[in-house]
């Protein structure tokens, strides 16, 4: 990277928005994915669309790969610049542009922190449901690019279900706008749906319009503990089969319970094998009925204990504690490798049994938690990346688990995306044919291949000069 | 788990432990609470970024460069990240180690170094010297020069740091250490015997506050022992990266206080309390483990102590005031004490507690940070005081001398109506005469 290019970037994007010192580059090379980190050549943080346009023009002129970056809480390596080049940070484009109470929409720049949008609309009596565990940090752009889910995903859906319109730039500088405030819109191909979940490989998203709804009038939070994790899985399947759709239906296993309790100290039952956090919300009459229904099922499957949160504050504490599960589990060992396996919900109990069996077989320590109601589990291996044998066992564990998950009709990613971590698994899920179609879509958006190269598609990896902390995982 | 601890490009003496750095899983939970990241939006000035820099040095991927040293000193050591981090990473502490590394890799220029050494190694360890060195300040204040300087705006012509120092220091009285009785008898039914750890800043700058602390302890039925041989707790040394002197002082205090035969060691300085509670780590390998544990178990912040033993409220008078409470970093994040000060406030008859937004966000004092990073510090202070103003409370209460100075200065500068009080001053008003 020449001094001239840096100067050019400084001129166009603002001197304080361009970093090329080694200390800065080092910290723009990672996200929350373990074991993966790379050095970009420059990190650029445009404050507006003009700056962004200029940065992209310079990247084209110089042939610099561009890696979009939100808050870098991603769990599949999406915002790591594994081909070097430019990290394009969106966090300085962070204005909430409009909350339209007549159309029930909000429009915000991509760098707005998820919780900030939630709070802003909530102050107007409105509700933006998507709430990834990282919501205090993650950006809307990152949420859209990963199609993030959250604790409320079961009843309210994921980010995709709320995106109405997107604005942004393609790598060649083309400005796109797709969707709008119309609740019905079938004009043309749904580019919007292509961009949601595109992991920064198709275009840079600058503005997002989301759908808002009315907050539920009432909610009730239940905490059920189990002496056996399979029973917890059975409870989930039966709740769904009884056509009760709680807003939240989260699971934590014993290891997770203990780590979360170490951090949050809210009195979780440490000796139990599994916990379900269940929240039903909506109209008071429905809430009462659903809560009773859930309780009945919990009693039928013989949950060890059923506890109802007494106050909204207690319910909030429980949900907040669940959100910290991954990071709390990370206290146990230096390296925490989490996966995102998702199965049809009738197969949950079986999946738990399988995890138990594979833990034994490969002798790995695994904590499991996740969005049980969605069938989306996060088995998380606790390891030490300095111990390569242990890491190999972990990868073998996940490889076999994913075989099973795919055989059950599951998917290799429920919400964290493919990035670099799961390229191999994706190929297995889609086959050459499916990947070929995706490749053609990628080429039509980004023929120059400048945008986030090395992600999702397996063949890009061969040309990468990956610099990692201890080898790529998966 | 292999306990290999690469020191990499760190100096082996007082390097941060590799385990403590590796523990960061980069989830970013800490980004939302870090004041320096909020100001700069620059990853390397965030806890996650700072941990990554330390990791790169430990793994030999980065030299201990000037920028690493700068980040170590730009970190406020407010420990907000430790509270937020579910993985238990303590970036503030890691940066404390990096500060000490900085002294190794980039020692200050000769005159600055001599001054620093003089202050840290000679003046702070010796209460006598500190007290005399502040004599000129007292004289200067008595003579009304301070008034003139302020009124005429002469401090505009002082270099920034001196100007801030001049502005921030209140009128000083006699150091309390020299005239507080060694033993104050308990009043009423005796409930126990406590040692009072009198901090340097409290003794010199806020002697009346600490007098209230002793008075409250006695009124509450405790015999109060205040040793005049007490040394500085060592916090300023840790903050400046002088771990060696910090250990020397800590060893003296450890022996002194364990020799007093008191059930508790109480302090009204959040910074001291925090440092004392960390002697266990600081002195690991330098003192008997059991004695360190015993010492640790006795330390209480005054609010923690009162909440734990329970306040005798029978004789308390009404204090009809609305108050808002600023949480000192060293209390809320350093010691995890958020509820006890509020419990104490709620027990003062007549007091109405009005919570401010972001009560646990740093006020910008952070040791000598306020004097070195004047602009950054002012931005943090403004954010804090805007939250104070919004409560419209009658008084602003806190529990640490550093915050106290900074807030009082800001209140004057920004023309706020709220006087700043230490929590014991407020409680003192409720005590019978
Ligand atoms: C503790 C923890 C809990 C989590 N919980 C959940 C959860 O419950 N549900 C869930 O779905 N995920 C969860 N995640 C994963 C992660 O938080 C989400 O994927 C999140 O949406 C990423 O947002 P970000 O702003 O951090 O994006 P980044 O990590 O910075 O980027 C993610 C991807 O989006 C791309 N990108 C970012 N911004 C843009 C943009 N403006 N335009 C185009 N591309 C862009 C990047 O290139 C990258 O490929 C969790 C992560 C952590 C660490
Ligand atoms: S310091 Fe803690 S909160 Fe911050 S990124 Fe690391 S693990 Fe997460
Ligand atoms: S101690 Fe405070 S300033 Fe330092 S990294 Fe942590 S939160 Fe930021």
Reported pTM? 0.91
Q: How far is the CA of B410 from the centre of ligand 1 (A)?
A: 39
Cross-chain residue pair B53–A73, CB shorter than 8 Å? no
CA distance A171 to B286: 60
Q: Do B49 and A27 touch (CB under 8 A)?
A: yes
Which residues have CB under 8 Å from B117's CB, separation 6+? none
ipTM: 0.93
Lowest mean pLDDT among A149-158, B3-12, B112-121: B112-121
Give me the residue from A27, A336, A387 closest to B25, CB to CB: A336
Instruction: Please report how many Cα atoms fall inside a 13 Å half-sphere around the Cα of residue B339, on the Cβ side.
Output: 2
Predicted confidence at residue B398, as pLDDT, reads 97
Render pLDDT for B298-315 as a digit per residue (tens, 0 to 9). Answer: 999 999 999 999 999 988
Whether residues A23 and B19 touch (CB distance < 8 A) is answered with: no
Is B25's CB within 8 Å of A263's CB? no
As a whole number of angstroms, the distance between CA A138 and CA A90 comes to 11
Please tell me the number of the ligand nearest to residue B26's CA: 2
pLDDT category at B137 given cuts 50, 70, 90 is low
Rounded to an integer, what distance in angstroms lies between the CA atom of residue B295 and that of residue B253? 10
Say what the pLDDT of residue A465 is: 38
In a structure prediction context, what are the per-residue pLDDT tens digits for chain A, which is 474 residues long?
889 999 999 999 999 999 999 999 999 999 999 888 999 999 999 999 999 999 999 999 999 999 999 999 999 999 999 999 999 999 999 999 999 999 999 999 999 999 999 999 999 999 999 999 999 999 999 999 999 999 999 999 999 999 999 999 999 999 999 999 999 888 899 999 999 999 999 999 999 999 999 999 999 999 999 999 999 999 999 999 999 999 999 999 999 999 999 999 999 999 999 999 999 999 999 999 999 999 999 999 999 999 999 999 999 999 999 999 999 999 888 889 998 999 999 899 899 999 999 999 999 999 999 999 999 999 999 998 888 899 999 999 999 999 999 999 999 999 999 999 889 889 889 999 999 999 999 999 999 999 999 999 986 543 343 444 433 332
> At A435, phi and psi to the nearest 5?
-65, -35
Band of residue B161 on the pLDDT scale cut at 50, 70, 90: low
Where residue A77 falls (left for φ over 0; alpha for ψ -120 to 50; beta otherwise) is: left
Alpha-helical regions (H) of A63-169: 114-122, 140-146, 153-156
- Chain A, window 350-409: residues with a beta carbon less than 8 angstroms from a chain B beta carbon: 384, 386-387
Ligand 1 in reach of A420 Cβ (< 6 A): no
A322 CA from centroid of ligand 1 (Å): 18
H-type alpha helices, B241-328: 243-258, 270-277, 279-282, 289-298, 302-309
In this structure, the number of other CB atoms found within 10 A of the CB of residue B326 comes to 28
A204 Cβ below 6 A of ligand 1: yes
Question: What is the pLDDT at residue A194?
Answer: 96
Is the Cβ–Cβ distance between A105 and A211 less than 8 Å? yes
B85: Cβ–Cβ under 8 A, 6 or more apart, which residues?
A: A327, B24, B29, B30, B47, B91
Average pLDDT across chain B, whole number: 88
CA angle A205, A178, A149 (to 5 degrees): 55
Residues 6+ apart with CB under 8 A from A330: A336, B23, B25, B27, B86, B87
Q: Which residues contact B237 (CB under 8 A, 6 or more apart)?
A: B120, B124, B243, B245, B246, B249
**Pick from A405, A368, A127: which is nearest to A259 by CA?**
A368
What is the pLDDT at residue B130? Answer: 67
Q: Percent of chain B, pLDDT > 70?
A: 87
CB B396 within 8 A of CB B323: yes
In angstroms, the CA B377 to CA B239 distance is 16
- Chain A hits for B42, Cβ within 8 Å: 19, 24
Report the alpha-carbon angle B387-B391-B394, nearest 5: 120
Cβ of B80 closer than 6 Å to ligand 3, yes or no, is: yes
pLDDT reading at B284 higher than 50:
yes
Range scoring the smallest mean pLDDT among A220-234, B124-138, B338-352: B124-138
The DSSP line for B172-209 is ----GGGTS-SEEPPPSS--EEEEE---HHHHHH-HHH
A337 within 8 A of A422, measured Cβ to Cβ: no
């Amino acid at each position: 990277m020449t001094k001239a290019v840096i100067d050019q970037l400084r001129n166009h994007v603002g001197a304080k928005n361009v970093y090329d010192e080694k200390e800065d580059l080092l910290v723009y090379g990672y996200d929350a994915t373990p074991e993966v980190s790379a050095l970009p050549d420059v990190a650029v943080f445009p404050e507006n669309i003009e700056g962004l346009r200029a940065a992209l023009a310079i990247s084209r002129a110089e042939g610099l790969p561009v890696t979009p970056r939100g808050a870098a809480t991603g769990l599949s390596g999406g915002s790591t610049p594994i081909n070097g080049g430019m990290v394009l940070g969106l966090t300085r484009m962070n204005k909430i542009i409009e909350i339209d109470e007549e159309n029930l929409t909000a429009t915000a720049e991509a760098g707005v922190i998820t919780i900030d949008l939630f709070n802003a609309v909530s102050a107007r009596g409105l509700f933006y449901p998507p709430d990834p565990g990282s919501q205090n940090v993650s950006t809307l752009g990152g949420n859209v690019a990963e199609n993030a889910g959250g604790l409320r995903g079961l009843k309210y859906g994921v980010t995709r279900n709320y995106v109405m319109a997107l604005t942004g730039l393609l790598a060649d500088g083309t400005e796109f706008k797709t969707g709008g405030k119309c609740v019905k819109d079938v004009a043309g191909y749904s580019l919007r749906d292509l961009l949601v979940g595109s992991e920064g490989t198709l275009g840079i998203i600058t503005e997002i319009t989301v759908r808002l709804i009315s907050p539920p009038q009432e909610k009730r939070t239940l905490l059920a503990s189990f002496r056996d994790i399979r029973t917890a899985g059975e409870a989930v399947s039966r709740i769904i089969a009884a056509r009760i759709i709680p807003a939240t239906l989260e699971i934590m296993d014993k290891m997770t319970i203990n780590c979360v309790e170490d951090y949050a100290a809210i009195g979780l039952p440490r000796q139990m094998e599994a916990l379900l956090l269940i929240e039903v919300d909506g109209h008071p009459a429905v809430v009462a009925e659903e809560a009773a229904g859930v309780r009945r099922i919990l009693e039928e499957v013989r949950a060890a204990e059923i506890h109802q949160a007494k106050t909204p504050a207690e319910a909030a504490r429980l949900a907040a504690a669940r959100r910290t599960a991954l990071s709390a589990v990370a206290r146990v060992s230096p390296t925490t490798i989490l996966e995102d396996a998702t199965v049809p919900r009738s197969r949950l109990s079986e999946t738990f049994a399988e995890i138990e069996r594979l833990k034994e077989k490969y002798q790995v320590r695994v904590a499991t938690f996740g969005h049980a109601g969605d069938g989306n589990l996060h088995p998380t291996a606790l390891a030490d990346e300095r111990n390569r044998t242990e890491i190999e066992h972990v990868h073998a564990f996940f490889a076999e688990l994913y075989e099973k998950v795919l055989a059950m009709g599951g998917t290799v990613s429920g919400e964290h995306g493919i990035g670099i971590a799961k390229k191999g698994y994706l190929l297995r899920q889609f086959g050459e044919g499916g990947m070929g179609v995706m490749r053609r879509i990628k080429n039509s958006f980004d023929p120059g291949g400048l945008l986030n190269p090395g992600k999702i598609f397996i063949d890009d990896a061969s040309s990468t000069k990956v610099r990692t902390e201890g080898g790529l995982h998966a | 788990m292999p306990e290999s601890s690469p020191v990499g490009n760190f100096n082996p003496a007082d390097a941060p432990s590799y385990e403590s750095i590796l523990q960061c899983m980069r989830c970013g939970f800490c980004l939302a609470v870090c004041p320096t990241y909020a100001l700069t939006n620059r990853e390397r000035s965030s806890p996650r970024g700072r941990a990554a820099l330390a990791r790169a040095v430990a793994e030999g991927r980065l030299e201990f460069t000037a920028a690493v040293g700068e980040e170590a000193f730009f970190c406020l050591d407010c420990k907000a990240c430790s509270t937020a981090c579910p993985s238990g990473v303590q970036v503030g502490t890691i940066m404390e180690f990096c500060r000490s590394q900085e002294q190794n890799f980039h020692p200050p220029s000769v005159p600055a170094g001599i001054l620093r050494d003089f202050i840290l190694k000679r003046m702070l360890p010796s209460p006598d010297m500190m007290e005399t060195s502040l004599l000129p300040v007292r004289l200067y204040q008595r003579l009304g020069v301070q008034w003139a300087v302020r009124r005429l705006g002469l401090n505009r012509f002082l270099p920034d740091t001196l100007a801030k120092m001049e502005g921030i220091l209140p009128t000083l009285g006699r150091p309390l250490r020299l005239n507080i009785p060694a033993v104050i008898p308990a009043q009423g039914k005796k409930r126990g015997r406590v040692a009072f750890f009198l901090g340097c800043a409290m003794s010199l700058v806020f002697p009346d506050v600490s007098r209230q602390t002793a008075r409250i302890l006695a009124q509450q039925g405790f015999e109060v022992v205040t040793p005049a041989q007490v040394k500085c707790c060592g916090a300023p040394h840790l903050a400046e990266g002088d771990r060696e002197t910090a250990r020397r002082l800590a060893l003296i205090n450890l022996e002194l206080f364990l020799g007093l035969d008191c059930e508790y060691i109480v302090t009204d300085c959040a910074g001291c309390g925090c440092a004392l509670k960390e002697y266990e780590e600081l002195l690991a390998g330098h003192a008997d483990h059991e004695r360190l544990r015993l010492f640790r178990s006795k330390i209480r912040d005054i609010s923690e102590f009162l909440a734990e033993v329970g306040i005798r409220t029978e004789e308390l008078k009404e204090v009809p005031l609305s108050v808002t409470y600023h949480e000192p970093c060293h209390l809320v994040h350093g010691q995890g004490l958020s509820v006890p000060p509020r419990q104490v406030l709620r027990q003062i008859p007549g007091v109405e507690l009005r919570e401010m937004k972001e009560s646990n966000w740093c006020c910008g004092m952070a040791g000598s940070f306020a004097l070195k990073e004047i602009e950054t510090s002012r931005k943090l202070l403004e954010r804090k005081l805007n939250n104070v103003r919004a409560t419209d409370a009658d008084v602003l209460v806190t529990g640490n001398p550093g915050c106290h100075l900074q807030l009082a200065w800001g209140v004057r500068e920004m023309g706020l109506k709220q006087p700043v009080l230490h929590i014991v001053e407020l409680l003192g008003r409720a005590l019978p005469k």
